Amino acid sequence: MVFLVSDEVKPKNGGPNMVVTGFASGMVECRWYEGYGIKREAFHEDELQPGDHSRRHDQA
């Protein structure tokens, strides 16, 4: 699946809803709120799925 910057995603193995913020070295960079702070991490694209409130880009 192809994700774009600002897409909402979440890990396939469970975890928080996150926002895609960029791409680097074949990884998808994501950020999310945890408490009062912002967390960030990079994931392989195949580790992610659309988030609970994501929109599909292939719909007109």
Q: State the pLDDT at residue 60.
A: 44
Enclosing H/E stretch for 8: strand 8-11
How far apart are alpha carbons 9 and 27 in whole angstroms? 14
Q: State the pLDDT at residue 55.
A: 64
The number of folded domains in the chain is: 1
On whether residue 41 sits in a domain, the answer given is yes
- Domain range enclosing 42: 8-50
Q: State the pLDDT at residue 52.
A: 82
The 10s digit of each residue's pLDDT in 2-46 is: 899 999 999 999 999 999 999 999 999 999 999 999 999 999 999
pLDDT confidence bin for 56, thresholds 50/70/90: low
On whether residue 57 sits in a domain, the answer given is no
Length of the chain: 60
pLDDT value at 59 more than 70: no
